């Protein structure tokens, strides 16, 4: 195919038009995208696994829209595990999550809440399936490396506990049309 300057300009303008009419970063295939809270707990940090574990979610195509390292206060730890208040392990879980720096993140994407839970695995690493984070990296339920919101309600409650609204970044992933079938995708199949 011969590309003249005029033709190149036309193609570039058409691509820009397609991009500007792209859905908001929160919408894929018309369905609202989800957000979830991910916490790489103090054992992840101490074991030098931040990159390895966060990388799994990036590789999957999920977008990191907020990220920070902090050592949570006792108050934040207690609010985070509020649903477990009164249970035998509540104190211990709060003490552990506040015992050192951790990395908190908000991930965004299609079905990210359930997908993140599936990638993390159940509470007891020895009962998790191979390929889950807790199976691949863990050996005890009190050192199970990662937290992920377990429902839309939990995500909506947890995200504001850890992040102020202005800490959440809206950005468009340059590979999004290779992860999702967006209107900007080069190949798109209408069903
Ligand atoms: O993290 P997950 O959602 O799988 O478990 P959870 O039931 O919400 O419990 C929160 C955390 O408390 C777990 O990840 C464990 O680290 C801790 N826990 C514990 O120390 N002892 C238990 N018997 C149960 C949970
Ligand atoms: Mg939980």
What average pLDDT does the structure give for the chain? Answer: 88
**pLDDT at 19 (0 to 100):** 42
End-to-end CA distance of the chain: 31
Task: Measure 166 CA to ligand 2 centroid, in angstroms.
Answer: 26
Residue 28 pLDDT > 80, yes or no? no
Position 82 in a domain: yes
Cβ-based neighbours of 120, under 8 Å, separated by 6 or more? 132, 133, 134, 146, 147, 148
Cα gap 146→154, rounded to integer Å: 15
**pLDDT at 182 (0 to 100):** 79
**pLDDT at 190 (0 to 100):** 67
Cα gap 12→18, rounded to integer Å: 10
Position 178 in a domain: no
**pLDDT at 63 (0 to 100):** 95
Token pair 């249970």 is found at 87
Q: Which atom of ligand 1 is nearest to the CA of 143?
A: 16
Nearest CA to ligand 1 atom 13: 123
What's the CATH number where 137 sits?
3.30.70.141
**pLDDT at 177 (0 to 100):** 85
* Lowest-pLDDT range of 72-86, 108-122, 169-183: 169-183
Question: Which pLDDT tens digit goes with each residue over 85-120?
Answer: 999 999 999 999 999 999 999 999 999 999 999 999
Position 14 in a domain: no
Cα gap 123→84, rounded to integer Å: 14
> DSSP string covering 80-111, please?
HTGGGTTSTTHHHHHHHHTSS-EEEEEEEETT
User: Which residues approach ligand 1 with their CB closer than 6 A?
Assistant: 89, 92-93, 123, 141-142, 144, 147, 150
CA-to-CA separations, 48 to 42, 43, 126, 141, in angstroms, rounded: 10, 9, 21, 19
* Lowest-pLDDT range of 30-44, 73-87, 121-135, 148-162: 30-44
Position 18 in a domain: no
Host H or E run for residue 65: strand 63-70
Average pLDDT value for residue range 165-176: 92
Position 39 in a domain: yes
Nearest CA to ligand 1 atom 22: 89
Task: Give the structural domain span for 124.
Answer: 24-166
| Number of domains making up the chain | 1
Nearest CA to ligand 1 atom 17: 93
Position 9 in a domain: no
Position 191 in a domain: no
């Amino acid at each position: 195919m011969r590309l003249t300057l005029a033709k190149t300009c036309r193609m570039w303008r058409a691509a820009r038009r397609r991009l500007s009419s792209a859905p908001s970063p929160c919408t894929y295939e018309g369905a609202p995208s989800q957000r979830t809270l991910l916490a790489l707990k103090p054992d992840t940090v101490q074991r030098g696994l931040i990159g390895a574990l966060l990388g799994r979610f990036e590789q999957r195509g999920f977008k990191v829209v907020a990220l920070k390292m902090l050592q949570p206060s006792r108050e934040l730890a207690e609010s985070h595990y509020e649903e477990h208040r009164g249970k035998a392990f509540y104190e211990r879980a709060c003490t552990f999550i506040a015992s050192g720096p951790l990395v908190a993140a908000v991930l965004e994407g299609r079905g990210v809440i359930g997908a993140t839970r599936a990638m993390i695995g159940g509470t007891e690493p020895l009962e998790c399936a191979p390929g889950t984070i807790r199976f691949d990296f863990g050996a005890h339920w009190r050192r199970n490396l990662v937290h992920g919101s377990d429902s839309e309600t939990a995500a909506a409650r947890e995200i504001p506990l850890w992040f102020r609204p202005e800490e959440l970044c809206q950005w468009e992933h340059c590979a999004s049309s290779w992860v999702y079938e967006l209107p900007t995708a080069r190949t798109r199949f209408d069903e």
